[in-house]
């Protein structure tokens, strides 16, 4: 009885750097796939830090990936995950009012004064149409 061990080097392929929109102020859950193989092993084990499917914080995170073959040969690659929160509230004038648009989740709030009190706008989703009235109203998005 004997065991044949594949002595060939490990080839690892990382994805290109990723830019992902945030889903909350805590960041976003990011899925990715790293592929590694040898001449005879088509599914070499890869350990990614942080792993695919974990929550990445807002900002830039370097993902380190190490593939190890059954023979103990290793290969490493890295890529960057950048989670971006675009927290802009844009206003576009329309015929009878304006349209408010925002991204990255959040709750649209309104107040009659800049100092508040701020109240959620019921059922508001981006884009949100607003009709002009004779009352002064301020808007913000709370994340």
CATH of the domain at 42: 2.60.40.10
Residue 110, domain extent: 89-142
pLDDT in tens, 43-68: 899 999 999 999 999 999 999 999 99
**pTM of the entire predicted model:** 0.62
pLDDT in tens, 65-118: 999 998 899 999 999 999 988 777 788 998 888 999 887 677 899 999 999 899
| Residue 28 is assigned to a structural domain of this protein | yes
Same domain, 67 and 36: yes
Same domain, 103 and 75: no
| Residue 6 is assigned to a structural domain of this protein | no
Could you give the CA distance from residue 78 to residue 96 in angstroms, rounded to a whole number? 52
Token pair 């890529």: residue: 79
Band (pLDDT 50/70/90 cuts) for residue 12 is: very high
């Amino acid at each position: 009885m004997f065991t044949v061990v594949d002595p060939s080097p490990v080839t690892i392929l990382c994805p290109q750097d990723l830019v992902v929109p945030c889903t909350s102020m805590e960041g976003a859950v990011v899925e990715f796939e790293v592929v590694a193989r040898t001449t005879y092993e088509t599914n070499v084990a890869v350990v990614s830090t942080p792993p695919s499917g974990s929550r990445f914080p807002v900002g830039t995170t370097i993902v380190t990936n190490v593939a190890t073959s059954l023979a103990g040969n290793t290969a490493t690659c890295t890529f960057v995950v950048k989670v971006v929160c675009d927290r802009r509230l844009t206003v576009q004038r329309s015929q009878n009012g304006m349209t408010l648009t925002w991204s990255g989740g959040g709750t649209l709030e309104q107040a009659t004064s800049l100092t508040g009190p701020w109240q959620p706008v019921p059922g508001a989703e981006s884009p949100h149409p607003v009709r002009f009235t004779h009352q002064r109203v301020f808007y913000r998005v709370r994340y």
